[in-house]
Structure 1
Amino acid sequence: MQTSPLAQPLTLPCGATLKNRIAKSAMSDSLGDGAGNPTDDQIRLYERWAEGGLALSIIGEAQGTPYFAEKPGNLILNNQSDSGLFERLAKAGATDNAQLWLQLGHAGAMADAPISTPKGPSALNLPGLTCGALTMEEIGALPAEFTRTASLAKELGFGGVQVHAAHGFLLSQFLSPLFNKREDAYGGSLQNRMRLLLEVINEVRKAVGPEFPVGIKLNATDQLEGGFAEDEALEVIAAVDQMAIDLIDISGGTYFPGAASSSDRAGSGPYFLEFAGRAREKTKIPLMVTGGFKTRAQAENAIVEGKADLIGLARALVVDPELPSFWLSGQRGEPQFPRFKNPPEGGVTAWYTMQITQNANGDAALSPDDLEGVIETYESRDETRRRIWNSKHS
């Protein structure tokens, strides 16, 4: 039997080896307990994904503090966390020689207002988005905050960490001229706008040492007019190439209110593969490409053509948690994605998030026809967790 290109191991610059070329990219699984700790459901979910044959799962996103979370189901990893639950999660995600990395998050301007006071690079007052501006002192404290979370992740047994600088979250906001109107050392030129990201990477690497995997998730573009564009992203990749990074995960889009997510856009193929081909000319760091892989052939071709070293799957692994094992053995070509009729904004994301819960519990798949009820359940669960969050962290 011919071996799939996806079955090749990948050795990262730090020396760690991924057993194949399939990864679960970070999604907001929204399975934290509302106080910032993992749940039994979450632990089962990452064990199931590991048993499904992938090499790497990235859990999105772990906050360093309770003050800028994207959702009340996010994890918080700091000295007040339940270390025993995090250790169980790390161990479950490492089943069958898989790796589980923590995505280091900070939602900034996109922080969930009912449980936080959103702040970004600059004050904004837009429809659906109001935030204050971070002070220089607050910015100066951020690298240490990311570093504390990364160090704890290593201590508790996680396989690596990923710095989240995509999808409109804080480090992505600093990169984008739409969010970042600062006139000091952290705004204006791209060199200034990428300053915080490079400071975070540098401090995280110093803290975890040379042999612990550190990745970064970066937008190819935030897909907003006047925002962070591909040529700027290539410049950031060239700068990151000079640093001790093990994996650059290329994605795109933003959760800016009203903006279409990459996942909701029509298209039959990978969204950012051509950009990855351009990025390859800027860096020797392994590239993970996330978004739009619908078939095994698309994933295999990306590896063979050298545009991607690792294939990032998200919604495909929600509808088919065992997909990697079938792709690696050549038994299945493509997952079956649900089709929705006129879903409201955020509705499809809610459906996939609740399907993740079904997977964690081993329950039957949801139907696309259940969308209205699913959204109601999703919103009700968030409200319950917001009450828990505020009672614990206010």
Structure 2
Amino acid sequence: MAQDPLLQPFQLKHLTIKNRLMMTAHEPAYPVDGMPTELYRAYHVERAKAGIGLTMTAGSAAVAKDSPPVFNNILAYKDEVVPWLRELTDACHEHGTAVMIQLTHLGRRTRWDKADWLPAVSASHHREASHRAFPKQVEDWDIDRLIRDYADAAERMHAAGLDGIELQAYGHLMDQFWSPLTNTLEAPYGGSLDNRLRFTFDVLRAIRERVGPEFIVGVRYTGDEQLPGGLNADEGLAISRRLKDSGMVDFLNVVRGHIDTDPGLTDVIPVQGMPSAPHLDFAGEIKRQVDFPTFHGAKIQDVGTARYAIESGKVDMIGMTRAHMADPHIVRKIMEGREEEIRPCVGANYCLDRIYQGGAAYCIHNAATGRETTMPHDIPRAGQKRRILVIGAGPGGLEAARVAAERGHEVVVMEAMSQAGGQVRLAAQSERRREMIAIIDWRLAQCDKLGVEIRYNCWAEADEVRQENPDVVIVATGGYPIEDKPGVGHDLVVNSWDILSGHIKPGKRVLLFDDAGDHPALQAAEIIARTGAELEIMTPDRTFSAEIMAMNLVPYMRALQRPNVTFTPTYRLKSVERNADSLVATITSDYLDLNHERHVDQVVVNYGITPMADIYFDLKPYASNGGEVNYDDLIVGKPQNVVRNEGGRFQLFRIGDAVESRNTHAAIYDALRLTKDL
């Protein structure tokens, strides 16, 4: 361990960072009224306790009122942020972790109808595609005000005791000045590269006047926009040298690409099925040529890749941000020789996609992340050993088994299939989503280590369950596709699971009707489209795939935007009838009563999931709680103590899709909060 490149300290000016692993600046959207309160602090402290070298807060903290966050960010323009950040910083410092924050003005990457309804501002009037607001082009008095706002915010961060700040310059105001695509100003702030950089150096000078020469200041920036007419790699290298030569910057944090569109953002921060570490070599080349402290992070999801990044000298600090959301204890496990126990990041991007939809960031398979004040990452031992029976070995059932076993209980899992995994195993049949199976594999490994007994090809019956003499029964049987729709012709259709599993081959002319808007429909669509079949994807919603959030949608669209595929929103499948060798699908709408027809040879439907809960209802009469859950206690993380049947021999709970159709994260969260106190 003493020779592990990741565990070597890094000297950044006066600051010694104890190892080379960091969380890059990111906003999990946990603030309360723009302040990093108790949960925000607990989230970062959990990673600090486990030994991470540097944690960066905010992605990014807003420096001005006309940079209203489009999701729940820290408001660095408010004086009251200082004591909150001091508490967070002091708490992380107690564990030897350095703390920095990223500051920004969003420029055009926001909207005028947020917060105080001030106009967005940028170096041109050009609209950003993602946020759709046309910005005001900056005036001279705007520039003076913006420079002052940056300096004021930096002074607050210095007063809060942080180790440094990082200025955000990819997709935000600072590099909107840099790029010829977003700067239509005249001199002195437009035209030549030096003019376009003038705003940045004016900001840096103002910051240095406030915080002095010792406070650490870095820049996270794009070294190549990868857009025609935008900043190219040569200009990115020139900017890198100018930042170093200015004497006002202490480190470079290099990325590549642009984030003004969903596809651009997804290329900068790749999701599952996309290459790992796609920009590491680019960052390494900038470090080689500029010879300056260089940080980097973009889909570095495993320790081996991170170790290579440091050992090869490509960068000085390597970011594993989403990986630390999946497992906050990565550094501790490396130090203890337990790398194989690290909970893997599967690249599902549930974390980032949620914040862009206005929610808090959660890991798809670590339900304690973002809930550190109510949910444990380390499961404590129970005072008394009990016998726990879990029915179903999908993600929820395996999580329940793992957590119960961590508590020290005797755990038996009954699984009807020959393999564990449930719907996750089905999803992983698609090559692009094969990483999802790590959700199952990691839990199987943990259950094996903890002595959990898993019985495959075992269909649970009520009498058999009772004969096991359990103290707790957890029903995690999942669900199956809704089979009785459409009302006329449901016997003539196939469901998306049939296509995904390979049980039914795609037709030549296919109508895929999606009433659920989730992954199975588009996964099936990819398989069908790949055969060259003529495919129409139809939904009654005004947008298709409403449950698939922005960044996850990008790879689907890249696979499906082809001549043989069409998308039809706002129409509904009414019925299906057979006509000789073809099917006639009658189409209507929620807006008008229509009777359009499609003549196809296959109709694939995706109506969602029906809970498979017969065993739960069979067991209810024998359960002490009658299956009841006290929601008030569940929400705050307290144990379940409901008694409805004094003669009941066991507690009974059901989780995940056995309750109602939801998603993988919901099943795992159900399991964690019900079993952590058993």
Q: TM-score, normalised by structure 2?
A: 0.50
Selected match of 2:57 from 51, 56, 59: 59
Alignment partner, residue 208 of structure 2: 205
Report the Cα offset of residue 361 of structure 1.
1.6
Q: Tell me, what secondary structure is at the counterpart of 1:354?
A: coil
Q: Tell me, what secondary structure is at the counterpart of 1:218?
A: strand
Q: Tell me, what secondary structure is at the counterpart of 1:164?
A: strand
Report the Cα offset of residue 74 of structure 1.
1.2
1:264 aligns with 2:270: yes
Report the Cα offset of residue 153 of structure 1.
0.9
Alignment partner, residue 276 of structure 1: 283
Alignment partner, residue 83 of structure 1: 82
Cα deviation digits, residues 311-348 of structure 1 (max 9, x gap)? 0122111111112222344421665233659x9x9469
For the 8 Å contact 1:57–1:101, the answer to whether it is kept is: yes
Relative to structure 1, the CA distance from residue 229 to residue 324 in structure 2 (aligned partners, 3 Å threshold; closer, same or farther) is farther
Q: Distance in 2 between matches of 1:251 and 1:310?
A: 13
* Matched letter for residue 92 of structure 1: A
Bigger Cα displacement from structure 2, 61-70 vs 171-180: 61-70
Alignment of 1:317-356 (within 5 A): 317-332=324-339, 335-338=343-346, 346=353, 353-355=361-363
Selected match of 1:156 from 125, 141, 160: 160
Bigger Cα displacement from structure 2, 350-359 vs 251-260: 350-359
**CA radius of gyration, larger in:** 2
Report the Cα offset of residue 101 of structure 1.
0.8
Q: Distance in 1 between matches of 2:40 and 2:240?
A: 33
Q: Distance in 1 between matches of 2:219 and 2:301?
A: 23
Q: Tell me, what secondary structure is at the counterpart of 1:199?
A: helix
Report the Cα offset of residue 374 of structure 1.
9.8
Report the Cα offset of residue 2 of structure 1.
5.1
Alignment partner, residue 12 of structure 1: 12
Alignment of 1:224-235 (within 5 A): 224-235=227-238
Alignment partner, residue 220 of structure 2: 217
1:137 aligns with 2:141: yes
Alignment partner, residue 359 of structure 1: 369
Q: Tell me, what secondary structure is at the counterpart of 1:108?
A: coil
Q: Tell me, what secondary structure is at the counterpart of 1:114?
A: coil
For the 8 Å contact 2:109–2:128, the answer to whether it is kept is: no
Q: Distance in 2 between matches of 1:339 and 1:302?
A: 19
For the 8 Å contact 1:10–1:18, the answer to whether it is kept is: yes
Relative to structure 1, the CA distance from residue 81 to residue 357 in structure 2 (aligned partners, 3 Å threshold; closer, same or farther) is farther
For the 8 Å contact 1:354–1:374, the answer to whether it is kept is: no
Q: Distance in 1 between matches of 2:297 and 2:24?
A: 7
* Matched letter for residue 162 of structure 1: E
Q: Distance in 2 between matches of 1:192 and 1:163?
A: 19
Cα deviation digits, residues 241-289 of structure 1 (max 9, x gap)? 1123222111233331343322235544312222223212443321001
* Matched letter for residue 337 of structure 1: C
Selected match of 2:38 from 25, 40, 44: 40
Report the Cα offset of residue 364 of structure 1.
8.0
Q: Tell me, what secondary structure is at the counterpart of 1:162?
A: strand
For the 8 Å contact 1:230–1:275, the answer to whether it is kept is: no
Alignment of 1:299-310 (within 5 A): 299-310=306-317
Cα deviation digits, residues 97-142 of structure 1 (max 9, x gap)? 1011111111010024431421111112465342221112211232
Q: Distance in 2 between matches of 1:129 and 1:78?
A: 22
Selected match of 2:125 from 123, 126, 129: 123
Q: Distance in 2 between matches of 1:296 and 1:79?
A: 38
Alignment partner, residue 387 of structure 1: none
Q: Tell me, what secondary structure is at the counterpart of 1:102?
A: strand
Report the Cα offset of residue 20 of structure 1.
0.7
Q: Distance in 1 between matches of 2:270 and 2:244?
A: 31
For the 8 Å contact 1:63–1:75, the answer to whether it is kept is: yes
* Unmatched tracts of structure 2, length 5 or more: 378-394, 397-423, 428-517, 520-545, 550-678
For the 8 Å contact 2:103–2:165, the answer to whether it is kept is: yes
For the 8 Å contact 2:29–2:355, the answer to whether it is kept is: no
For the 8 Å contact 1:238–1:283, the answer to whether it is kept is: yes
Relative to structure 1, the CA distance from residue 213 to residue 69 in structure 2 (aligned partners, 3 Å threshold; closer, same or farther) is same
* Unmatched tracts of structure 1, length 5 or more: 376-394
Q: Tell me, what secondary structure is at the counterpart of 2:41?
A: helix
For the 8 Å contact 2:309–2:315, the answer to whether it is kept is: yes
Alignment of 1:20-35 (within 5 A): 20-34=19-33
Q: Distance in 1 between matches of 2:98 and 2:283?
A: 23
Q: Tell me, what secondary structure is at the counterpart of 2:369?
A: helix
Q: Distance in 2 between matches of 1:310 and 1:153?
A: 22
Bigger Cα displacement from structure 2, 175-184 vs 219-228: 219-228
For the 8 Å contact 1:164–1:217, the answer to whether it is kept is: yes
Q: Distance in 2 between matches of 1:199 and 1:327?
A: 43
Alignment partner, residue 380 of structure 1: none
* Matched letter for residue 260 of structure 2: F
Q: Distance in 2 between matches of 1:138 and 1:196?
A: 11
Q: Tell me, what secondary structure is at the counterpart of 2:134?
A: strand
Alignment partner, residue 69 of structure 1: 68
For the 8 Å contact 1:112–1:118, the answer to whether it is kept is: yes
Bigger Cα displacement from structure 2, 356-365 vs 280-289: 356-365
Alignment of 1:93-108 (within 5 A): 93-108=92-107
* Matched letter for residue 230 of structure 1: A
Relative to structure 1, the CA distance from residue 101 to residue 188 in structure 2 (aligned partners, 3 Å threshold; closer, same or farther) is same
Bigger Cα displacement from structure 2, 77-86 vs 58-67: 77-86
Relative to structure 1, the CA distance from residue 202 to residue 330 in structure 2 (aligned partners, 3 Å threshold; closer, same or farther) is farther
Q: Tell me, what secondary structure is at the counterpart of 1:20?
A: coil
Bigger Cα displacement from structure 2, 123-132 vs 92-101: 123-132
For the 8 Å contact 1:108–1:120, the answer to whether it is kept is: yes
Q: Distance in 1 between matches of 2:548 and 2:43?
A: 19
Alignment partner, residue 174 of structure 2: 171
| RMSD after superposition | 3.0
Report the Cα offset of residue 180 of structure 1.
1.3
For the 8 Å contact 1:47–1:95, the answer to whether it is kept is: no
Selected match of 1:291 from 288, 298, 303: 298
Q: Tell me, what secondary structure is at the counterpart of 2:300?
A: coil
Q: Distance in 2 between matches of 1:329 and 1:230?
A: 41
Bigger Cα displacement from structure 2, 322-331 vs 176-185: 322-331
Relative to structure 1, the CA distance from residue 321 to residue 354 in structure 2 (aligned partners, 3 Å threshold; closer, same or farther) is same
Cα deviation digits, residues 154-195 of structure 1 (max 9, x gap)? 1121121111112x0111211112111222211222111111
Q: Distance in 2 between matches of 1:252 and 1:64?
A: 24
* Matched letter for residue 336 of structure 1: P
Alignment partner, residue 386 of structure 1: none
